[in-house]
Amino acid sequence: MNIMVTGGAGYIGSHTCVELMKAGHSAVIFDDFSRSHPNVVDRIRRLTGVVPIVIAGDIRDRKLLEETLSTHRCDAVIHLAGLKSVPESIENPYLYQDINVGGTRALLQAIETARVHRVVFASTAAVYGTPASLPVREDHALQPSNPYGGSKLAVETLLETIASDRFRVAILRFFNPVGAHESGLIGEDPRGNPGNLMPQISQVAIGRRPWLDIFGDDYPTSDGTTVRDYLHVMDLVAAQIRAMEALERERLIKVNLGTGHGYSVLQLVDAFSRTCGRNIPCRFAPRRAGDIAESYASGDLAQKMLGWRAERSLDDMCRDVWRWQSLNPQGFESAPSSRQPG
């Protein structure tokens, strides 16, 4: 299939494109490079042997989206483009409505005109807000606790309204994607300071930051720090591809993507420290606005609908992040190492 990946140069997008291309699909990257690095394109080439098609454009540009979909005869769209920082969304909720919701509206209009019949959408655990019970199942109440989660929920609602036999939709609620491609050639290189935990830890380990701020030590969890369901990005990508294929038989898929296990901030720091053999200096700081104490997914529905379960362990996640970070201390600004393939 020809698949347009919006946000295809980003963290999840780049791993998605590599796996799509390896599975024999052709990937068209649509990305504005506002939060991604242009060097990722060459890394994808090194990994796949193919120069991917790249369209630099804004997700709100309906005309360009339409043109891209028809010129490249796209059969499906994996929609990953969007903003994802909880603190930024609290500071500027309009921006999140504009890009995450407005951008998806433009994309869906373009999809309709270009007669594309499948879309896979990257939603988030943040649509649930504070879970009433754990693990979080898909039928739990949807009460986002920040504007980022609210913007993703608005998109979910829109997609559900228009899903039909002719236009098939998969909504995937990502828990906490971490990890990197096993090659160490691509990984997470945050721009615009989204502040996610794993890249902060790896940047402390490599010496780019002096310490890690741990936001809150008095949550009602086993060690007082927040608990999340960390999922290896390569497991996530496998689930996305399964979902795209499952739309052959399903009209609407709506599933959580997580491992079913929660780890605290301190447990993650410990695991990473063991993997890299370095001390990770930490400092307790006040709670971060919009954060919740504990969240991990039930994986039952994803198993049932997609035949998918996460396979990689927390140690695998730490090992792959450390390989990526140590081979690329400055992220995609780093010269590709001779230890890397390609």
Catalytic residues: 148
Q: Check: CB of residue 85 under 8 Å from CB of residue 195.
A: yes
By CB under 6 A, what part of segment 42-101 binds ligand UD1?
84-86
In the complex with ligand UD1, the residue whose CB is nearer, 68 or 256, is 256
CB of 26 to ligand UD1, least distance (A): 28
By CB under 6 A, what part of segment 166-205 binds ligand UD1?
174, 176, 194-197, 200
Please tell me whether residue 261 binds ligand UD1 under the rule CB under 6 A: no
Q: State how beta strands 118-124 and 168-174 pair.
A: parallel
| The pair of three-digit structure tokens given for residue 154, joined into one six-digit string | 């608005």
What spatial distance separates the first Cα and last Cα of the chain, rounded to whole Å? 25
Helix (H) or strand (E) holding 326: helix 314-327
CB of 292 to ligand UD1, least distance (A): 5
Rounded Cα–Cα distance for residues 194 and 190 (Å) = 7
Question: Quick check: helix, strand or coil at residue 146?
Answer: coil
- Selected from 125, 170, 172, 276, the binder of ligand UD1 by CB under 6 A is 125
The site map against ligand UD1 for 231-260 (x = CB under 6 A) is ------------------------------
Rounded Cα–Cα distance for residues 225 and 216 (Å) = 6
By CB under 6 A, what part of segment 129-168 binds ligand UD1?
149
- Selected from 98, 291, 300, 316, the binder of ligand UD1 by CB under 6 A is 291
Window of 58-66, 250-258, 273-281, 288-296 that interacts with ligand UD1 by CB under 6 A: 288-296
Please choose, from the candidates 160, 180, 72, 176, the residue with its C-alpha nearest in 3D space to the C-alpha of residue 116.
Answer: 72
Please tell me whether residue 328 binds ligand UD1 under the rule CB under 6 A: no
Query: 198 — phi, psi (to 5°)?
Result: -60, -50
- Selected from 124, 151, 202, 259, the binder of ligand UD1 by CB under 6 A is 124
In the complex with ligand UD1, the residue whose CB is nearer, 226 or 298, is 226
Please choose, from the candidates 159, 162, 270, the residue with its C-alpha nearest in 3D space to the C-alpha of residue 212.
Answer: 270
Q: Check: CB of residue 144 under 8 Å from CB of residue 153.
A: yes
Residues in contact with 336: Cβ distance below 8 Å, sequence separation at least 6, in sequence order: 43, 46, 185, 342
Q: Give the interface size with ligand UD1 as a residue count (CB under 6 A).
A: 25
**Residues near ligand UD1 (CB under 6 A):** 84-86, 124-126, 149, 174, 176, 194-197, 200, 212-215, 226, 228, 265, 288, 291-292, 295
